[in-house]
Amino acid sequence: TQLLIAQKEEAGIQLQAEEYDLMAAATDLDEIEEVNMNCILMANLQQASTLGTQTDSAPVYDTDGSAEI
């Protein structure tokens, strides 16, 4: 969206105030979407990194000898 605004300005095309406002709002929405995706990614990475460290440390006993090791 920023690129489109720059291209129009470079070509000497005057943007109407409404058109500029719409393009600016679209840019804001793109940035919000990107931030949301980054937050989801960070949460998933954090969850994945803690899954391997939260193991049950209680010993497991094979009392009847049926388990294969």
Tally Cβ neighbours within 10 Å of residue 1.
15
Average pLDDT over every residue of 54-63? 60
Cα–Cα dist 53/66, whole Å? 28
Q: Give the per-residue pLDDT at 37.
A: 93
Question: Which domain does 36 fall in, by range?
Answer: 2-46
Q: Give the per-residue pLDDT at 55.
A: 57
Query: Within a domain: residue 60?
Result: no
pTM comes to 0.46
Query: Within a domain: residue 59?
Result: no
Cα–Cα dist 62/65, whole Å? 5
Query: Within a domain: residue 24?
Result: yes
Q: Give the per-residue pLDDT at 14.
A: 73
Residue 51 in tokens: 């899954």
Over residues 9-43, the pLDDT tens digits come to: 777 777 787 877 887 888 888 888 999 999 999 98
> What total of structural domains would you count in the chain?
1
Cα–Cα dist 44/52, whole Å? 13
Residue 66 belongs to what H/E stretch?
none
Q: Give the per-residue pLDDT at 54.
A: 56
